[in-house]
Structure 1
Amino acid sequence: MKVLGFITEYNPFHNGHKYHLKKSIKKVGATHTVAVMSGNFLQRGVPALTNKWIRAEMAVKEGVDLVIELPVVYACNSAELFAYGGISLLNSLGIIDTISFGSEIGDIHKLKKISKILSDEPALYKNYLKEFLSKGISFPHAREKALGKYCLDQSLEEVLHSPNNILAIEYIKALIKCNSKINPSTITRIKAHYNETDINSNICSATAIRTFLTKKNYDVYQLKKVIPKNSFEVFVKSIKNGFAPIDYNHFEKMILYKLRTVSKLELRKVFDVNEGLENRIKATSLNAINLQSLIQMLKTKRYTYTRLQRIFIHTLLGITNQHIQNYNKVGGSQYARILAFSSKGTEILKRLKKTSQIPILTNINKQILKHPIAKEMLSFDILASDIYSLAYPNEQHRIGGSDYYNKPYSFL
């Protein structure tokens, strides 16, 4: 058994994901695949287009053998924490040989070089980073400039301009942090850039698909050319049954209500809120008429659009700085929640009984987590599902407790 791992969102699973899956399997000679996938809230601080169970089914029907949920405390977070949550989970399984991720650069050696510098943080590099941060620019931009100045190589600085390169570097950094034996491998992204909003070929970005679905009177069948057949059928069914599409605006009133009613003291504890931001959020939430205006009034070089979106979801869920500190101290993700599996996935599950350092959860009604931190982490996943369900187009699906009655999808 040669097992290949992925850290994904599949929002939704499209032809680009299929290309990456097939190309990665061929490149490393994998016999089995495991995807750690975000649940109902994603890295950019937005809700998934359709729920985690449906997206896991889409993935398994397109060739992924086992889909495991990335706990929301890591899934809806910065690139660094997103990567750490995923890598710590894959590493704890004890069976992953290689992890494959997409990147714009497609050069694993250059990605490793940058990752080593950012992990070691040599004194000179740290001085350059402080220098650029003191000018009031955002951390990601300051890091780019510090890296280029430290290496005297602007091409390395430019690598950090691209979102998938950044994630790739964070994956390698997390492998170093976990002292992992998992080998990193990268596949060059083709045809579409991460943030492209137009559908120009059979491979487009997930952003383009989501943008298409915000149009009035859209015809979902126009997406057949960019979503694989089996995945497309599952996705269309989710729309017809009133589970999708879901976007950030569906949570607008919930978020504004929470921001207006939470105390400044509670808001100060929310993860990633610092430098007195709680005061600005409280004042601005009273004047904002929608999320767009709220973010526009709060956005700065340091507090980017995406960072603010994540802060709002953290506030909604009650994720604090102390929570994240505690989770990082115990080594990241504390369980592997199974969302879907194939016949080959059952072979992996059998092996995991012997190799996994963390509990494998297939039925949370029957399997009780003993560690209090693991219990707390899982409670956020359950809460995230309960809040997410309030946005379903079909109000009949808006009942809570879906994590207790949904079972892993099996494609046998």
Structure 2
Amino acid sequence: MNIVGIIAEYNPFHNGHLYHLKQCKKLAEAEACVVVMSGNFTQRGEPAVFDKWTRSRLAVQCGADLVLELPFAYAVNSAEAFARGGVGILDRLGCVTHIGFGAEHGSLPEMERLAGFLAEETAEFRECFKEFLAEGYSYARARERSVEACLGPDFANLSKTPNNILALEYLKQLKNQKSNIKPIIVNRKGTGYFDARPAGNIASASAIRHTLTAEERKNCVPPQVEEAFACRREVKGYFELIRSLVLRSSSEELSQILSVGEGLENRMKSQVRICRSLEEFVEGIATKRYPKTRIRRILCQMLMGLSSFEDCFYARVLAAGEKGKQVIRQIKKQGQIPVFTNINKEASLPEILKYDILAGDIYNILTGMELYRHCDYVTRPYMEKA
């Protein structure tokens, strides 16, 4: 049977995600949908609006069949690493036939052409990229300018928007990992990624988190998600935790964090006593080369002590419906990676899974949840009953 895979954050799940999920199933003629979802912290380096167990349960209640965790080491990382982790898991499940992802604009053939060009990294591209980095551009901006120089403005426009950037990375990873999974693009409907206002009953996840009133939000999310908002716990003390770690760490220790470079650790030390909020701190550290989103990721990586990691893929089950349970059985027969539903029963666990567990503990502290009762060793996946 056809099974479509989706790599997502669902922070939170909203009507746009519901549209995307349904379209992916329809276009792939899929009988089931497997979602690889980031955990308690997102790719932007921020605590998620709900914990991973809540978000995965809501995804299943809204139409996903199986939700697996994207390990923290990939989830809170660059778009390239985020895609490498997601595609790496989906490909090794042994049963996923299609992968569906969103894009602001562009057709699959032109996106595949650009992804192939980026994966090939011609001498011309490398030289342009090197020059733009030397001028102080961020990685993303240097790549965009290099594409424009080599292929022209139309292709450069394809590499500018958030969903397109990830779509290109997914296509690159399918090529790099020699995957047989077939890609599907669903063009974004309604509002843009950064739009603060809804368009009809669709709003961006950012708008839902930050700018919409409760009444506006109600029209833009499924009922189950709105119910979750009613008992949501606020994140408190995140900046204080970050600041205390910077104060107690030496510059040398900070320099070991995965994405830190070019003396960024010294900027952290110089700003930590001056800034009064996380936003001020991020602003004080950010540079043309290191934009604010990357700084937030670095701070989150620092919180978990992530200095380096080797690629390691596994299927950590967060939630499953009836079809999802069938897919789990299929993965255990056909897959190339271990399936974890209860980490207490495993004789040995992948080294990078420790970051997922720690991220859960830190998130519970920040939201005031009872640490033992809600930790990864105690919480079990949501299994929908027939």
TM-score between the two structures when normalised by the length of structure 1: 0.90
* Residue aligned with 2:193, SS: coil
Distance in 1 between residues matched to 2:256 and 2:149, nearest whole Å:
35
State the match for 1:405 in structure 2. Answer: 378
Contact 2:41 2:72 in 1 (8 A): yes
Where in structure 2 are there 5+ consecutive unaligned residues? none
What letter matches 1:186 in structure 2?
Answer: I
Q: Deviations over 1:229-265 (max 9, x none)?
A: 23333x23xx42xx4344xx64110001101111111
Distance in 2 between residues matched to 1:102 and 1:9, nearest whole Å:
13
Give the direction of change, closer, same or farther, for the CA distance of 1:377–1:400 in structure 2 (3 Å limit). farther
Q: Percent identity?
A: 39
Q: Deviations over 1:219-238 (max 9, x none)?
A: x35422101123333x23xx
Within the candidate set 360, 369, 372, 2:348 is matched to: 369
Distance in 2 between residues matched to 1:400 and 1:316, nearest whole Å:
22
Distance in 1 between residues matched to 2:16 and 2:273, nearest whole Å:
42
Aligned length: 385
Within the candidate set 256, 265, 273, 1:269 is matched to: 256
State the match for 2:217 in structure 1. Answer: 223
State the match for 2:356 in structure 1. Answer: 381
State the match for 2:208 in structure 1. Answer: 209
Contact 2:372 2:378 in 1 (8 A): no
Deviation of 1:398 after TM superposition, in Å, equals: 4.5
State the match for 2:78 in structure 1. Answer: 78
Aligned-pair RMSD on alpha carbons? 1.5
Contact 2:201 2:220 in 1 (8 A): yes
Q: Deviations over 1:6-26 (max 9, x none)?
A: 000001110000000111111
What letter matches 2:156 in structure 1?
Answer: E
Contact 2:364 2:374 in 1 (8 A): no
Give the direction of change, closer, same or farther, for the CA distance of 1:398–1:404 in structure 2 (3 Å limit). closer
1:113-262 matched pairs, under 5 angstroms:
113-151=113-151, 153-212=152-211, 220-233=214-227, 235-236=228-229, 239-240=230-231, 243-246=232-235, 250-262=237-249
What letter matches 2:323 in structure 1?
Answer: K
Deviation of 1:48 after TM superposition, in Å, equals: 0.3
Q: Deviations over 1:98-133 (max 9, x none)?
A: 000000114111111111111110001111111211
Contact 1:14 1:226 in 2 (8 A): yes
Distance in 2 between residues matched to 1:102 and 1:38, nearest whole Å:
16
Distance in 2 between residues matched to 1:4 and 1:275, nearest whole Å:
41
Distance in 1 between residues matched to 2:61 and 2:234, nearest whole Å:
20
State the match for 2:284 in structure 1. Answer: 297
Contact 1:86 1:333 in 2 (8 A): no
Deviation of 1:41 after TM superposition, in Å, equals: 0.5
TM-score between the two structures when normalised by the length of structure 2: 0.96
1:40-55 matched pairs, under 5 angstroms:
40-55=40-55
Distance in 1 between residues matched to 2:208 and 2:164, nearest whole Å:
22
Alignment partner of 1:347 is 2:356: no
Contact 2:12 2:205 in 1 (8 A): yes
State the match for 2:306 in structure 1. Answer: 319
